[in-house]
Structure 1
């Protein structure tokens, strides 16, 4: 190690692992998939690879090895991204691992101050921007693709079960923060009732409506249950009760 002393090696490695561990502590505290050890190991690995390139005294090897680290972390991050129904989980975890590797690269290249500043930036993103993101989610969105769209739930049940089904439907909508703007009922000749609930929305209600359907689907007396989005005015031919 002509250009890298043992003290420099240990100092840079310690800073790299420490920066990854600080990020990992926040992740572990929030019970995420990649916690303290994972982020620390990612940072340690990135630091060691770049330190190796420093040790071999090749001027162009540091940049080259750093680019390989970025590619390798991409594969590792892809392994923590999971599809959960209509949503995707693990994107923040993958991005955090990517940042931990970057902190290790900074530390290994001797930019210890920048590595610490980068660690503070990553922690601020998780601690400060998280509540900011939740506030933004609560603001009504005007999406041109779904503007003026209403959701409709269609339900076909036995007539004797109609009162209980009405109550359960309204309770399920309330639990999912959905407010019905209309509820129509049509009684059929075969002693069944068709209910149609209309929900006005300013966003995409798919996930909330699926939760409502899941709550009601196992209820005895329900023969059919589905929902869809409509843009045309509701048909006024049904009897409203």
Structure 2
């Protein structure tokens, strides 16, 4: 009887481990396709490890301390997530990948406690966020862009013309700063607006003879 019970218990655990690898691999595949630092194998291992630790928390048989292992999983995953976040000048990259690591661990814990339906729903919702909402975010970013322009012009009149032209293209601007560098004037300005209007603004800048260079 004891042997049958033991085989049943370990059979369930093996199923959980296999499911965690599958779920982690599915999430990791999306990151791998996008060429992110934490990809296919990494998320599979994180989901797998979270499931194993969760299994350990109840196999140890100490009911009052089961939450300690779960809390330490969250702490450990936090360190992993921090390792994929990078700051580059004014931008921060890797936050979505860090969140994917966090979600992968949470799904692994759900599998570990036997909540297969919740784990499956979580995987589907995570894929929805990563794929479908990525398109929505792209559209939002396109229509509400923020660009820090640095434009070099020959004279102050040209700088005033730039400001007038931004209004013509229905672009909003702020943090305007003019500085003189030798015989040129550098215009630094934060411009906000529709992506199409910004491209028209760029085309206008390229056509102006009094503008030496610009970037953002």
Same fold (TM over 0.5): yes
1:65-104 → structure 2 map (5 Å cutoff): 65-104=69-108
**Contact 2:54/2:112 (8 A) holds in 1:** yes
CA distance in 2, matches of 1:31, 1:203: 34
54-63 or 119-128, larger mean C-alpha shift: 54-63
Question: Who is 1:20 aligned against?
Answer: 24
CA distance in 2, matches of 1:106, 1:23: 15
1:63-142 → structure 2 map (5 Å cutoff): 63-140=67-144
Q: Which of the pair is proportionally richer in helix?
A: 2
> CA 1:205–1:64 in structure 2 vs 1: closer, same or farther (change >3 Å)?
same
**Contact 1:46/1:69 (8 A) holds in 2:** yes
Q: Which ranges of structure 1 fall in alignment gaps of 5 or more residues? A: 144-149, 158-182, 186-193, 207-221, 231-240
- Select 2:57's aligned residue among 45, 53, 77: 53
Residues 98-146 of structure 1: per-residue CA shift (max 9 Å, x gap): 00000100000111111111111111101110001111123348x9xxx
Q: Which ranges of structure 2 fall in alignment gaps of 5 or more residues? A: 177-181, 191-209, 211-216
Which aligned runs of 4 or more in structure 1 are off by greater than 4 angstroms? 1-4, 203-206, 222-225
> CA 1:203–1:83 in structure 2 vs 1: closer, same or farther (change >3 Å)?
farther
Question: Who is 2:48 aligned against?
Answer: 44
> CA 1:195–1:154 in structure 2 vs 1: closer, same or farther (change >3 Å)?
farther
Question: Who is 2:187 aligned against?
Answer: 227
How many residue pairs align between the two structures? 177
Question: Who is 1:184 aligned against?
Answer: 157
Q: TM-score normalised to the size of structure 2?
A: 0.70
**Contact 1:51/1:108 (8 A) holds in 2:** yes
The SS at the match of 1:60 is helix
56-65 or 99-108, larger mean C-alpha shift: 56-65
Larger radius of gyration: 1
The SS at the match of 1:31 is coil
The SS at the match of 1:229 is strand
The SS at the match of 2:157 is strand
> In the TM superposition, what is the alpha-carbon distance from 1:10 to its structure 2 partner?
0.4
> In the TM superposition, what is the alpha-carbon distance from 1:15 to its structure 2 partner?
1.2
